[in-house]
């Protein structure tokens, strides 16, 4: 079984993998393997996930740009979704803002143009996950290949863009499955969602793709990614809203 097939099988519950036969040597090779995993998984692209979306996060990872992966059919869920046992391997909870497009983006655009293309924003929980036994050993290129650690995206109702500024500056908490609370990252550690989607517009254009209307794009975490056990996970943007999901026990 080649690396793409192994990762796709792990996505489908075959268990985490200890190593890749040919670990991607750099980010370019990581995206090439991601493309092969995407093809092996199949399914329509319904959104995008970006990670390492601040300079501090990129410096910590030893990279110089956000990392990207498509969200495929079956990866986005409504608020209050209940996940069954073994839905994840090593879930981590993150508080995010996802932008939803009303108009297609068919080339590189500025943050202001992103704003104009949006139908609105959604508060979101990202459950990041890994298909590797030892994720840190896989370095960024290996994580990119693993669909950028996509697990699931749980989204709240669509909110009008006139509430966007309040959301991006609001105090944020993530309540973990065991009841622990993770507070907001400092302002310099929180992403700028419009700039993140502007970056994505350049990224997909270089790859010959576009961002159709209806895409849901999640733009990076506002709280530290933190392992979560089973239970109710709640993300709250103070004064704006909250979104919740329930996790059962992970795969073991």
206-219: pLDDT as tens digits: 999 999 999 999 99
Return the CATH architecture of domain 3-247: Alpha-Beta Complex (3.90)
Has this prediction a pTM greater than 0.95?
Answer: yes
32-80: pLDDT as tens digits: 999 999 999 999 999 999 999 999 999 999 999 999 999 999 999 999 9
CA–CA–CA angle 230, 18, 77 (5° rounding): 35
Interval 232-239 mean pLDDT: 99
Write the CB contacts of 156 (distance below 8 Å, at least 6 apart in sequence): 79, 122, 123, 124, 241, 242, 243
1 has pLDDT over 80 = no
- The confidence score (pLDDT) of residue 249 equals 95
205 has pLDDT over 80 = yes
- The confidence score (pLDDT) of residue 102 equals 99
- The confidence score (pLDDT) of residue 6 equals 98
- The confidence score (pLDDT) of residue 194 equals 99
What is the distance, to the nearest Å, from the Cα of residue 41 to the centroid of all Cα atoms in its chain?
Answer: 17
120 has pLDDT over 80 = yes
- Please give the mean pLDDT across all residues of the chain: 98
Question: pLDDT band at residue 197, thresholds of 50, 70 and 90?
Answer: very high
- The confidence score (pLDDT) of residue 31 equals 99
Interval 167-196 mean pLDDT: 98
| DSSP output for 80-100 | T-BPPTTS-SS-EEEEEEEEE
Using the CB atoms, write b or e for 211-234: b if 16+ within 10 Å.
beeebbbbbbbbbebbebebbebb
252 has pLDDT over 90 = no
Percentage of the chain with pLDDT > 70?
100
Interval 72-90 mean pLDDT: 98
Q: CB–CB of 112/204 below 8 Å? A: no
Interval 2-7 mean pLDDT: 98
- The confidence score (pLDDT) of residue 43 equals 95
The torsion angle over the Cα atoms of residues 211, 191, 50 and 217, rounded to 10 degrees, is: -40
């Amino acid at each position: 079984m080649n690396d793409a097939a192994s990762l796709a099988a792990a996505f489908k519950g075959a268990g985490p993998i200890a190593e890749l036969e040919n670990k991607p040597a750099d980010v370019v090779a990581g995206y090439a393997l991601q493309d092969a995993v995407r093809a092996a998984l199949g399914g329509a692209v319904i959104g995008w996930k970006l990670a390492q979306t601040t300079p501090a996060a990129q410096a910590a990872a030893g990279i110089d740009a956000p990392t990207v992966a498509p969200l495929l059919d079956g990866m986005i869920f409504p608020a209050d979704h209940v996940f069954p046992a073994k839905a994840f391997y090593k879930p981590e909870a993150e508080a995010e803002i996802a932008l939803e497009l009303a108009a297609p983006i068919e080339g590189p655009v500025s943050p202001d143009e992103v704003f104009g293309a949006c139908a609105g924003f959604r508060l979101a929980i990202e459950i990041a996950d890994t298909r590797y036994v030892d994720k840190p050993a896989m370095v960024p290129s290996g994580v990119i290949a693993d669909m950028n650690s996509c697990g699931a995206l749980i989204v709240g109702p669509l909110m009008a863009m006139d509430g966007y500024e309040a959301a991006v500056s609001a105090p944020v908490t993530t309540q973990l499955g065991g009841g622990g609370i993770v507070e907001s990252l400092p302002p310099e550690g929180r992403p700028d969602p419009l700039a993140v989607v502007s970056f994505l517009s350049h990224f997909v254009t270089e790859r010959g793709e576009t961002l159709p209307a209806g895409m849901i794009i999640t733009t990076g975490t506002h709280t530290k990614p933190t392992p979560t056990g089973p239970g109710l996970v709640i993300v709250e943007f103070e004064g704006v809203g909250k979104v919740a999901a329930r996790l059962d026990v992970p795969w073991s």
